[in-house]
A and B are shown apart, each in its own frame.
Chain A
Amino acid sequence: MNDLDLIKEFRADVREPDLRQLLATRARLMRTLEETAPRRRPARTQRRWVIATVGAGAGLALAVTLPGVLPEGSPGGAEPAAATALQRAALVATDRPAERMPKAGEYVYTKTKSVRTSFYVPGDGLRNLSFTLRNTREDWVAPDGSGRITEATGKIGFPSSADRAAWLAAGSPDLGQDVHGSAATERFGAGELSFPDLSELPTDPSELQEIIDDGRLPGGNGYHDETFQFVGELLNESYGRPALRAALFQVAARFPGVEYLGEVKDPAGRPGAAVAYTHNGYREELIYDPHTSVLLASKQVLTDPDKIGLEVGPDTAPRTILSGPGDPGTVLDSTVYLKSGVVDSTRETP
């Protein structure tokens, strides 16, 4: 052993910082960098709104969807409590047995219920109003992209009597949806539905995050990409891959300022744990079962209406930007994942 070897061995047995500590340090550091960095980002395409132009006047119904953009100038890293919770969820996910992957001729069945809030901007100095749509949906999707979707939409609702009064005052305009609700079943041939093949996705969180950030996901429709909710959707679709689920929780921990909301009940009343990511005027919440790491529900809550800016179009010209029709705290979307599993036919449920 030469002299350098002796020096190399000196204090070679110091302890490594543990993962939890590392995540907390990372989160703190990224916050510091955010404060250090100038707040500027290159402009990105913002795919924002599903728009329906209503009536002959200035009236517009605006169904708000989430912006497909990265947070403005915010670097990554969860709050320590969230980092701990998500790290634990990742460990739980790793320990779970792999679910069965669907074979040819089998279907992945999912059942979701959602409530979505949209806005109507009557113009002419009249009060903006909110209305809600309830939707229950069952999907059967085979690996070849064939399947069946049944969808039932409930009656249009109003979050408050003031919203209903505003709708009446505006002359009960058509809100672009069947006021009395609707139900439909549709069948799809091979290749008509997206069955994302997630089997090739990396389980290294950094690599996975890069792919999500770049929108390079299989079957990605360029709509929800880069959002926290999209991580949630992938969690829901990562059949049979515990390691991928674990990596997704770790990716979630990298979103800047992700908070842990603690133990909550999901909109269906089931107990879970919630983490939230606030950006661009929204808070996106993911509620999962901490014992199984299964995603129970997701929610989007309006936090800063002035930040969201509603883009009107594409069938109105010129495009108009309206800001903040809703009130802070408005739940824009709440989706409950009720059931999922592999079944033999589009008539069966697990």
Chain B
Amino acid sequence: MAYVDWMIKGPKLGACSCSYGCPCEFNARPTNGDCEGLDAQRIDEGWFGDVRLDGLIIGSRYRWPGPVHEGGGVVQGFIDERATEQQREALFAILGGKEQEPTTVFNIYGSTIAEELDPIFAELAFSCDIDNRTGHFAVPGVLELRIDPIKNPVTGAPHRARISLPEGFEFRVAETASADFHATGEALPMNRQNCYGVLFNVAYGPYGIVEDRP
């Protein structure tokens, strides 16, 4: 099938309520039974057909009552307020799983969502240093995520552990870290400390991860 040509490429941060190393990455069950978290990506290079997406920030927060693959998820998207009407339409198409295979990250997660809350357009703050495992993402007044290195419980030294998923649909290699996040709002409030954080560079396109771009 022919799709509109698109790609979004850049650093991505994620965090969830699981322990460091998130068992779900290995197809084990989530640490606490349910799954709650967020992600954010800065599009350093991106386009959807003729529409350029460079420099825009996107994110989401989500919750599933059990493991992700059992469904019933609630999600809310965050879109950079600097995005023009055309860019917003393009981002909605990509994040909504349009113009892409059913096996992309957006369609796999999308297939587990029962309720989608109205997106928030805001001045999003995003920074990260993947090699040093630090990151920050904020939606002013709504949500804040901080990522720092995991510490060795005995020596206190930073602990470096990567997850490699050679056939992964979200990332192929990721640095793991320690995440703190809180979010306000009636639908998806959150308050978590010292849980799974993840950082990676990735490029997505209509057929999934674009291998040679990151």
Q: Is this pair of chains taken from one and the same complex?
A: no
B residues touching A (Cβ–Cβ < 8 Å)?
none
